[in-house]
Amino acid sequence: MSEDDFHVHGPHDHAIEHAAHGGGDLFASRVAALTAVLATIGALFSYEAGRTQNDALIYKNQAAIRKTEASDQWNYYQSKSAKQSLAELALLLTNGTVNERYKADIARYTKEKAELKEKAEALETQSKEADSQSEQSLHVHHRWAQAMTALQVAISLAAITLLSHRVWMQWTAIGVAVAGCVIGAMAAFQI
């Protein structure tokens, strides 16, 4: 440009010129850094939320499998009870050498029923333990999800802060982020 021309910088040109010389908006830089940190922490919280949700599903599946196995054992138990009842009836209706066979059958069914009952009760206990583990994992999953939601809200508030250049909005975003991190710590310690 020649020295005789009149040149006016626009606000955008002025901002670019200052940014190029290290005179950028320090407030915006801080909020941008805060947003990046929150997004990183949020990604970690999101990973943990997914992991604990998967754990809860695996435990719930194990509980259902053990419950089905226990049901099978109880069905076998009922079958043995029916056979034992028939043998007891046959014992009453017969006499002689046939009675000895029915007595042996009754003793065998009694022993088999005791074993089946023990297996069924053990499987029911395992099912209840897996259900309990599922509930615990689901509780922790909800904590991670709450922490992630708080960080997402904090990131949104940080974006509004950039648009409004309001310091109180920045502190609100930081406060919500701290609350999210506290909830995340509760999830990490399974509280």
Q: What is the C-alpha separation between 92 and 86, in angstroms, rounded?
A: 10
Nearby residues of 18 by Cβ (< 8 Å), 6 or more positions away:
24
Tell me the per-residue pLDDT of 14-28, one tens digit each, with 9 for 90 and over: 555 655 555 568 889
Tell me the per-residue pLDDT of 54-102, one tens digit each, with 9 for 90 and over: 999 999 999 999 999 999 999 999 999 999 999 999 999 988 888 999 9
Residue 68 structure tokens: 């089905």
Per DSSP, the residues of 153-185 read HHHHHHHHHHHH--HHHHHHHHHHHHHHHHHHH
Q: Model pTM?
A: 0.75
Nearby residues of 145 by Cβ (< 8 Å), 6 or more positions away:
49
Considering all CA atoms of the chain, what is the largest pairwise distance in Å, rounded to the nearest integer? 135
Domain boundary assignment for the chain: 27-188
Q: What is the C-alpha separation between 189 and 187, in angstroms, rounded?
A: 5
Say what percent of the chain tops pLDDT 70.
87
Residue 130 · residue 59 · CB < 8 Å: yes
Tell me the per-residue pLDDT of 134-167, one tens digit each, with 9 for 90 and over: 999 999 999 999 999 999 999 999 999 999 999 9
Q: What is the C-alpha separation between 137 and 41, in angstroms, rounded?
A: 20
Q: Which residue has the higher pLDDT, 119 or 97?
A: 119
Q: What is the structure's pLDDT at 96?
A: 83
Instruction: Name the CA dihedral angle for 103, 106, 108, 113, rounded to a multiple of 10 degrees.
Output: -170
